[in-house]
Amino acid sequence: MFMELSVLYFAHVRERVGVSSERIELSQGATVKDAVRLLVERYPTLRELLPVVRLALNGEFIDENAQISSGDELVLIPPVSGGSNIERIGLTHDELTPKFIQRLKASVGGPDHGAVVVFEGVVRDHARGRSVTGIDYEAYEPMALKVMTRIADDIAREFEGVRVAIHHRVGRTVVGDCAVVVVTSSAHRKEAFHACQEVLERLKKDVPIWKNEKGPDGSEWVSDRP
């Protein structure tokens, strides 16, 4: 026995799949996880978005274990940008420029948030007594995005009213490059400062990103990040 499921796509999810909606067939008793697995097989580029995509069934957010009935409507919800047209959580090979950081600030700011704290982790020219010319960052990207998203969500729950944005470089960086930026905002400065510090501690502890420092005397994998 088979059943039909309607799937809707929006924003950059729609760009990845090339259609705004479609109907797919699933076996009776299938779950949302089964539907997502089928969609990733059909559109492999969806896989890298899964850590930041939320799932909605018939207009309600659900988890992937929810069961599907014939005629249901599934939506893959891309990150809501808060009006700034920018994702709050990201890994990128591109430079984290001042212009980009300003846009990231706008994504978590607002008239009700009087405190915005920005941390920029910059590649320095020395570490542990040796010269550094650059750093290569390597990430297990699907898991890294998932953990970064979880950190941001957890901080928002633990610090009432706080919003969080995190972006981290991957690939080659040189001295002076911004490797990671964390932005937190709140109505008051105390919560924003504490939230930013806590985000950084959890990033260093839990996110699967590694760095290989380059210098005149060779390269070395190190664990203190950023």
Mean pLDDT lowest among 14-18, 182-186, 206-210: 14-18
Instruction: List Cα–Cα distances, 101 to 86, 118, 183, 208, 213, in angstroms.
Output: 10, 9, 9, 23, 24
The phi and psi torsions of 150 (rounded to 5 degrees) equal -65, -40
> What mean pLDDT do residues 76-91 have?
69
Residue with tokens 């010319």: 133
The phi and psi torsions of 73 (rounded to 5 degrees) equal -125, 120
pLDDT surpassing 90 at residue 216:
yes
Least Cα distance to 195 among 184, 182, 206, 207 occurs for: 184
* pLDDT in the model for residue 133: 96
Least Cα distance to 57 among 130, 5, 102 occurs for: 5
Question: What CATH number matches the domain at 89-222, 3.90.180.10, 3.40.50.300, 3.30.70.20, 3.90.1170.40?
Answer: 3.90.1170.40
Beta strand 130-131 with 126-127 is antiparallel
- CATH topology for 2-77 is Ubiquitin-like (UB roll) (3.10.20)
Per-residue pLDDT band for 81 (boundaries 50, 70, 90) equals very low
**Domain coordinates in residue numbering, the chain:** 2-77, 89-222
Q: What is the pTM of this model?
A: 0.64
